[in-house]
Each structure stands twice: as structure tokens, then as C-alpha cells.
Structure 1
Amino acid sequence: MRSESGSVVRVRWRAAVQWLGWEFAAVGRTAGSAVRRSGPERDAMVQSLKAAGAAIAAWALTGWWLEAPLALMAPWTAIALVMSTVYRSLYSGVQQFAIIMVGTLWASAAMAVTGNSTLGAMALTLPFMVLLGNYRRLGSQGIYGATTALFVITYGASTLNQVGHRLLETLIGAVVGVAVNAFILPPVHLRSVRDNLHALARGSGELLAMVAEGLREEEGLARAGGWHDRACRLGQTVQALADARQWTSESYRFNPGWRLRRGSPQPPAEIDAVWERVGAHLVAITRTLQNTAGADARLTSPSYAYLARWADLAENAAAVCNAEADLLEGAGPSQPLRDQRHAALERARIVHEELTTEFQREQGAAIAVGGELVVETQQLLRELADIN
């Protein structure tokens, strides 16, 4: 029993050491990526350093220069307002100052009513402030009301002069945080839209290439469930693309530096809907293939020859998606990539025209499945043709 227990402990210890190794390696990769090239990692590093700088500046103003009695309020507020966009900093700054003002006034009044009793003031203040903090319109700033009230109560501030100091310290911290975010490398989210479009194009191309490869094998349909799962996961990237559009639009608002950091033009917003429909057709195609696989298949699979011919179409459609991904990535001169995309699309159309007659030669219920593949593929090719 002891030897078995010792073995379990050793296995768990090795697993914990291995997990720590993975975590340290991931941290190292992230840090290296932030230093070597621009991207989300570098953006996070810049925003973190800006938040730290804003907190130090707010402390210098209130604690060192003004000698405020509770200077902690200023850096605490400043560090929270260096956010992902200037607009969000301004909007959250107004929310935060309002809720902090309510928390300060309520807690000070509770201290006065209870004769500076810490326990009594908490009993009068915290239930209300925590409930108020859950008010939907206050968003993530609602919690600052309760925490500010705790600072005020534990510090024992109840006079008008002390309340005024708390509000002044908070206001200074808010101004410093917003100013640092707005005027020192103001964040502009430009890469996220292009990155997500690239992920959609590359993911669609890889999926179509995988399906094409599998359909040329005798037992390739056995992997159709995995193809369908991968097609469904493209929907997550579609949602990420929609979020990126919102962040990009928001990052321009009230941002004094966006003209200096615009970079390359953004792909038009209309393209998002095209890729969303491409993803929907891929889901439908892979669902059909999944339903023809296995001993308990719901649908009758077309012949191997027909599926192999459809694989030629999928391979060319994959080439269209991959060429678009290369264009978004800037992997080479644009005109050759556009010509490559156009040629692949034309080849896919030729195969599709042939399949529109070939599916009728299938036997029995397989005709319906072949026809469904033809219809979905026709719509898929139309969407890919709309990508300019």
C-alpha cells in the first residue's frame, strides 16, 4: 500500500513539474514575442507599463506633492483606467468617479451616524453598496463603490474636509489614468480584424483541403465527424471577428493618436458577412458528409468515384481560401496571388459544372446526397467569388 501511495505521489509530482515547465515555456514564448514583433503580446506589455506609469505619476502628485492623507486612492484609480481603448477609459472614468463618490459620501455619512463605529458603518454601508455595484449600467466599475466605502470606513474619514480629500484624490487618479492612455501610445486596434479574417480564410482552406484528402481515401468518410466539428469551430472566429470590428471602431473614438497609427486600410466590413456565410456552407457540407459515414449512417453515401471528383472541387476551393489568406497576410505580391485565386476559382467552377450532371448517375438515395453537395458547393463558390 505504501509503495502504491508513493508511486501516486511521484506521478502527481512529475505532472506538476511538467505543468510548471509548460507554463514557464509559455511565458517565455509570450515575452519573446512581445520583444521581437508587434502583436497582442506587445500591446498587452505596453498597456501594462502604461498602467504602472500612471499609478506612479498619480502617487507622485497626491502622495509626494500634495501630501494627501489617503494618496492610495489616486494610483488605485489611475491603474484601473488605463484600458484597451481611450473611449473606454473616458467612459469608465466617469462611471468610476460617480460610484466612488457615492461610496465615499455614503460611508462618511454612515460613520457620522454611528459615531465612527467601524462595524456599524459597515453594516449600514456594504449591503447597499454591493447591491448598487451589481447595477447593470455600472458594468465592471460597480465594485469600486463598495471597496471605496471600505477604505473610507477603515480609515475613519467622516468630516467634510476628509471627504473632499477622497474625492480629489480619486479625480486626480482618473485624470492621470485617462491622460496617460490617451496621449502615450494611445491604443488603436488595427490588427485584430485582419488577423481574424486571415484565420477564417486559412481555417476554411485547411478544412477544405483536409476534406479533399480524406474523400480520396476508401475509408476517408470515417473522419467526417472531425471535419464537422472543425467547421463548427469556425463560428467562434466569426464571433471574434465581430468583436474585433467593434473594438477597432471604439478605439478611434476620442483617440488623439489614431491618425498617426492607422497603418494599412482595414478590409471592408461587408467581407465579414461573406466569410460568415462561407462558414455556414462548410458546416452544412460537413454535416451532410458526417451523416453518410459509419454503419448507422442516416444518408446514403454517393459512390467513391463521385466523392473523389467532388474532392477535386474542394481542393480548388481550398486554394481560393489559401490565396485570400496569403493576401491578408501580405505573404507576397498581390497581383500574382489574385491571379492564383481567380484561376483556382475557375477550376472549381468547371468541376462544379461537371458534378451537376454526374450526381444524377448515382443510384437510389445517393442522388439526393450528391445533389445536396452540389447545391451547397454552388453557394460556397458564389460567396468565394464575392471576395474581392
Structure 2
Amino acid sequence: MQDSTIMVERTAMPVTAPVRALARRIQGKHADHVVHGVKTVIAALLTWAVVAPWVPQNQPYPAVATAVLMVNASTVYESVRKAAQSVVARIAGLILALVTARLLGPTAGAVTVIALIAVLAGPRRTADDRLQIASTAVIALTVTATDPMGHLLYPVLQTLTGAVAGIAVNALVLPPLYLNESDSALRDLAEALGSLLHDMGSGLARRQLTSKGYAWLHQARALDKRLTHAEQQVQQADESLRWNTRCVAHARRRNTAHADSDAFKVLRGIAIQVRGIARTLADSHDGHTDHHLGQQFLDRYSEALHLAAAAVQDSVTTRLTADPSHASPRERLRTAIDGTLTWHHAMTDMIGQGQLTKPGAWHVYGSLMTDLERLLTDLDHAHKH
């Protein structure tokens, strides 16, 4: 009988680590609020100074409102997209108001026609665009009837000026980047995956499969929320780099965003395998099955899960470490992958030679080994690239 010689190192996580992480997040959010407040004031005052001298009755409120909306967009790209939609919707609404006022006058019939046209405008426009067109047209209906061209020109110029001012401030004054949020989400996801793998490994070693099998499956299914959150953060970080002036001075930021995207793809694949492992372990001790796993296999499989947990957590640490001098995470990752691969090959040979007890559970052994092999393949591929 072949025994495993792989030793699993268990390290306790400092209690203060989550506290420090929470403190950093609170400080980061507070700083973000201050930056948004300063940028909003700058955009509002700049727009007022530019628009007030030429707008009728010295009331540039629509321009200021547009500037505030654009400067508070989540990214520079988003502010440009919103500005284009707002200007187009405002022009469409004013033209619609001008046409209906000429044909029907400022009457209930004109309002009805505007509502019908906005609702039936076509599938290419979103509901928000149609609503903005309709509201703009209804508000401008009376004034366009009395002074069509003047009240058609000034709102468009105000919207355009406010949009330009808001975009300029958003792009030039500390444009938003979400790389830290993306990194944090990926680390949280990797930590959750590694923690579940480690918990399953410890449970198997302590003969707790029967009592904890379904709890592990529930935790694995709950990972979907973390996956969704991480994907959203990675996408937002990638979008925040588009047309961002801070990336000109920090070229490595874009490489970091690409690394985040690649790391998420790896973790998404690992999450699928972790869920498969949890499902197989839960089913193996279902009262309706007769293919319970042998403890000999589970003892050795627990060692592999501990190693896989360390490899998963170190994989994100390695990919998100920009300084190549940080060799320790890479070495730990390589050691964990090599150790688990060695175990995997040994156990595969034992299964093939029929050296394990419970031979009737060979298909369950195969499922667990296949999920682990795919998990290791994803980690190994990510490490090599």
C-alpha cells in the first residue's frame, strides 16, 4: 500500500487582518466621497461661470444640473456615454415639442401625441431615453409655442455646455479608477474558495463528511454571489481605464486590469470545480446511495484539498503582485501545484490498480479526481502565463 508523504502546513490567519482591510475600505470610501464632492463643486461653478453670461435671465440651471450629472458618472467613459445620450434625447424632445406645438398648439392633444410617439418610438431606444425625450418635450411644449427657435437653441446649448464641463472635470481632476476594488473583490473570492477547500479538507480528515457534506455544498452554491460581485468589479475597473488620463502617467495600471480579468477567469473555473467537489462529497453520503467513499481515499484527498486551498489563495496574490521581486507567493504557488499533482498521479495509479477499498465507488473517485485535475490545470495554466 502506498502512503502519502505530503505534509500540509496549517497557518492561522491573524485576527487583525480583516480589521485592517475594513479600515482601509472605510478610509478609501471617505476619500472617494471627498473627491466627488470637490469635483462636483468645481463642475457646478465652472458651468455657472461659462453659461450665466449668455443664458436668458441669468438662469443656467439646466447646464449646471447636466454638469453635476456627468461629473458624478462612475467612469470617464460612462460620463461621455451619458452626455451623448442626454444631448441627443434633449434635442429629440425639443424638436418633438416644436413640431407638435406648430401642429396642435400647447393643448392636451399635443401632450397625448408626445406620449404616444415616445412610447412607440421603436425598440432601438431604451425606456430611459424615451422617458427623457417625452419629459423634455412636455416641459418645452408651451415655451416652444411662443418662441420656438429661441427656446429650442438655448436648452440644447446649455445641455451641451454642461456635459462638456462635467466630462472635462471628471476626466482631468482625479478621474475615477476602480483597480483597488477589483483587486479586493478577487482576493475575497480567492479567500472564500480557499477557505471552503481547506474546510472540506479538514472535515474529511476529522471524519465529518456526513455532518458537513451538505453545508459545504450550500457554501459552494453561495459562491455565485461573490462571483457576480467580482465580475462586476473587474468590468468596472476595465471600463474606468478607458479614456482615463491617469493611465497615461501610470502605464502599468492597464496591465494590472488585464491581470485582474485573467485572474477572474481562472477563479470562475475553479469555483465550478469546487462546487463539483462539494456536490460529489455531499452525494457520496446521501442515505439513498450505496457507494460511500473509503476513508483511506478521503484521508489522502483531504491533503490534496489543503494544498489546493493554498494554491488558490496564492494564485491571486501572485497575479496581483506587480513587483517581480516578490518571489515568495510564486514559490508557494508552484510548490502547492507540484505537490498536489504528485499526489494526484499517485492516487490515480492506486485507483487504477484497485488498491483502494470500496471498489464499487470507482465512479465517485473518478468524479472527485477529475474535478481536482481540472482545478489544478487552471492553476497551472495561470501560473505559467
The TM-score range, normalised by the shorter chain, is 0.7 to 0.9
2:248 aligned counterpart, secondary structure: coil
Aligned to 1:6: none
Cα pair 1:188 1:252 within 8 Å, conserved: yes
Cα pair 2:102 2:145 within 8 Å, conserved: no
Gap change, CA 1:153 and 1:314, over 3 Å in 2: same
Residues 1:381 and 2:371 aligned together? no
Report the residue type matching 2:138 in the other structure: L
**Cα offset for 1:158?**
4.3
1:259 aligned counterpart, secondary structure: helix
Aligned to 1:89: 79
Distance 2:282 2:326 in 1: 37
Residues 1:311 and 2:311 aligned together? no
Residues 1:181 and 2:181 aligned together? no
Gap change, CA 1:319 and 1:301, over 3 Å in 2: same
Aligned to 2:7: none
Gap change, CA 1:381 and 1:90, over 3 Å in 2: same
Which runs of 5 or more residues in structure 2 are unaligned? 1-21
202-211 vs 337-346, greater mean Cα deviation = 337-346
**Structure 1 counterpart of 2:103, from 110, 113, 123:** 113
Distance 1:303 1:123 in 2: 75
Distance 2:126 2:377 in 1: 45
**Structure 2 counterpart of 1:288, from 280, 296, 312:** 280
Distance 1:262 1:41 in 2: 26
Aligned to 1:172: 161
**Cα offset for 1:205?**
0.8
Residues 1:65 and 2:53 aligned together? yes
**Cα offset for 1:272?**
3.8
Show CA shifts across 1:290-345 (max 9, x none): 2123323x462212232122111101111112223444565997212222222222
Gap change, CA 1:194 and 1:137, over 3 Å in 2: farther
236-245 vs 279-288, greater mean Cα deviation = 236-245
Give the alignment's TM-score, normalised by structure 1: 0.78
46-55 vs 76-85, greater mean Cα deviation = 46-55
1:213 aligned counterpart, secondary structure: helix
Aligned to 2:293: 302
Cα pair 1:34 1:45 within 8 Å, conserved: no
Aligned to 1:229: 218
**Structure 2 counterpart of 1:145, from 133, 139, 157:** 133
Cα pair 2:263 2:319 within 8 Å, conserved: no
1:172 aligned counterpart, secondary structure: helix
Show CA shifts across 1:60-88 (max 9, x none): 433x4334356332122222223222222
205-214 vs 323-332, greater mean Cα deviation = 323-332
Aligned to 1:351: 343
Aligned to 2:8: none
Task: Select the structure with the greater relative contact order (CA < 8 A; seq sep ≥ 6).
Answer: 2
**Cα offset for 1:101?**
0.5
Which runs of 5 or more residues in structure 1 are unaligned? 1-30
Aligned to 2:184: 195
Aligned to 1:338: 330
Distance 2:179 2:88 in 1: 32
Distance 2:67 2:267 in 1: 40
Distance 2:294 2:111 in 1: 75
Aligned length: 354
Superposition CA RMSD, Å: 3.3
Residues 1:46 and 2:24 aligned together? no
Give the alignment's TM-score, normalised by structure 2: 0.79
